[in-house]
């Protein structure tokens, strides 16, 4: 039995390869892929060859072994159906729809403990957003926003919109956002932003300050999320943050250089730059929180927010090169692109 596996083979090149399916090991289950999501952030860095090649692919996901030297497999958001098990795995797994952190691959063996059954009633196209929802929750855990604070989010891609969707359910004074693409600015308003501005507008910081003066005389924010992946946005985020404020850096810049001017108000204003990455928990929460608890919260919020509307294209696995090219060359039109592994869904 063979499977189709997606490989990153060179900058801006992906290829499907047919591989023999290895035999299952005791306790493993066989998963037939249904959908997988292409990350418009991390995967685009890898696709463009902008990630450090010596870096481990992931230190917490067993399916992502090795480093980021071409060729390599990647991907961490896949929905599939269990079609077989090897004892002593429970035969009751067969037929279940599951989520797993796994590369783009049509058929694979996994340990049962690596699978997460979909909650009843949750559609696969909502469930595929689980990693990004967990990431957004992690951003809020690191930021710890307070009642009445003013929050600004740089970047309204998938994770930025999910972050805004969560912030919309918190008793904040204002939620402002920035994104260069009109489609994302429109979605930002629909997902809870009070305003979403264009960061390329030369007057964007004065416009932001004018809105923030409603609650702060200096027109500065309490907490700012930099989720755009654009290095210049980090300077803008710092410049709009008030005394003792927090800048949550969720972007991974890869090998892109980041140049900051920290000689101005940054030092005297005690602004905190906080690196936020979902592989670990906020240190202050480890006495009460586990990854399992955070993941359960992510499932709950997927059922409340139903982010499937953020899917802008679903393409068959055979068109994977086109799927990556769309995200790379047409980000103004494409937000979340899915790969489809079976023919029953022709959307």
Q: Check which CATH number belongs to the domain holding 325 and give it.
A: 3.90.180.10
301 assigned to some structural domain: no
Q: What is the pLDDT of residues 103-152, one digit of tens each?
A: 999 999 999 999 999 999 999 999 999 999 999 999 999 999 999 999 99
Alpha helices in the chain (DSSP H): 42-47, 124-127, 130-143, 158-167, 182-190, 204-212, 231-239, 265-268, 291-305, 320-329
Q: What is the pLDDT of residues 86-104, one digit of tens each?
A: 999 999 999 999 999 999 9
- pLDDT cut 70: percent of the chain above it: 95
CB–CB of 112/87 below 8 Å? Answer: no
- 257 and 136 together in one domain: yes
- 150 and 188 together in one domain: yes
pLDDT bucket at 64, cuts 50 / 70 / 90: low
Q: What is the pLDDT of residues 247-298, one digit of tens each?
A: 999 998 888 889 999 988 899 999 999 999 999 999 999 999 999 999 999 9
- 191 and 257 together in one domain: yes
Q: Give the domain extent around 236.
A: 131-285
Res. 345: pLDDT tops 50: no
- 244 and 143 together in one domain: yes
pLDDT bucket at 65, cuts 50 / 70 / 90: low
Residue 344: its pLDDT value, please?
Answer: 47
202 assigned to some structural domain: yes
345 assigned to some structural domain: no
293 assigned to some structural domain: no
265 assigned to some structural domain: yes
The helix or strand, by DSSP H or E, that contains position 138, with its residue range, turns out to be: helix 130-143
Distance CA 210, CA 212 (A): 6
Q: How many CA atoms lie within 13 A of 180 on its CB side?
A: 13
The domain total for the chain is 2
- 136 and 280 together in one domain: yes
- 101 and 140 together in one domain: no
The whole-model pTM stands at: 0.94
- 193 and 270 together in one domain: yes
Residue 61: its pLDDT value, please?
Answer: 57
- 176 and 89 together in one domain: no
């Amino acid at each position: 039995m063979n499977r189709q596996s997606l490989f990153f083979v060179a900058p801006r090149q992906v290829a499907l390869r047919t591989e023999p399916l290895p035999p299952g090991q005791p306790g493993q289950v066989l998963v037939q892929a249904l959908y997988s999501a292409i990350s418009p952030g991390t995967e685009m860095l890898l696709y463009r060859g902008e990630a450090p090649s010596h870096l481990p692919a992931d230190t917490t996901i067993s399916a992502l072994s090795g480093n980021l030297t071409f060729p390599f497999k990647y991907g961490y958001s896949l929905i599939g159906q269990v079609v077989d098990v090897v004892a002593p795995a429970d035969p009751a797994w067969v037929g279940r729809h599951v989520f797993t952190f796994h590369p783009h691959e049509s058929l694979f063996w996994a340990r049962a403990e690596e699978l997460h059954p979909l909650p009843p009633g949750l559609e696969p196209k909502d469930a595929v957003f689980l990693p990004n929802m967990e990431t957004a929750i992690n951003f809020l855990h690191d930021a710890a926003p307070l009642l009445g604070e003013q929050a600004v989010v740089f970047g309204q891609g998938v994770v930025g919109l999910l972050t805004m969707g969560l912030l919309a359910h918190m008793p904040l004074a204002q939620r402002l956002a920035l994104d260069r693409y009109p489609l994302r600015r429109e979605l930002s308003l629909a997902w809870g932003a009070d305003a979403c501005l264009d960061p390329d507008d030369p007057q964007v910081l004065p416009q932001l300050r004018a809105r923030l003066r409603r609650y702060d005389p200096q027109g500065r924010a309490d907490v700012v999320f930099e989720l755009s992946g654009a290095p210049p946005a980090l300077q803008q985020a710092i410049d709009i943050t008030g005394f003792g404020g927090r800048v949550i850096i969720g972007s991974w810049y890869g090998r892109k250089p980041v140049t900051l001017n920290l000689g101005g108000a940054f030092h005297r204003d005690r602004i905190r730059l906080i690196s936020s990455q979902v592989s670990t928990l906020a240190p202050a929460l480890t006495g009460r929180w586990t990854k399992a608890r955070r993941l359960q919260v992510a499932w709950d919020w997927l059922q409340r927010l139903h982010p499937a509307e953020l899917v802008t294209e679903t393409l068959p696995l055979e068109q994977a090169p086109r799927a990556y090219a769309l995200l790379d060359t047409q980000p103004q039109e494409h937000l979340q692109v899915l790969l489809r592994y079976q023919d029953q869904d022709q959307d």
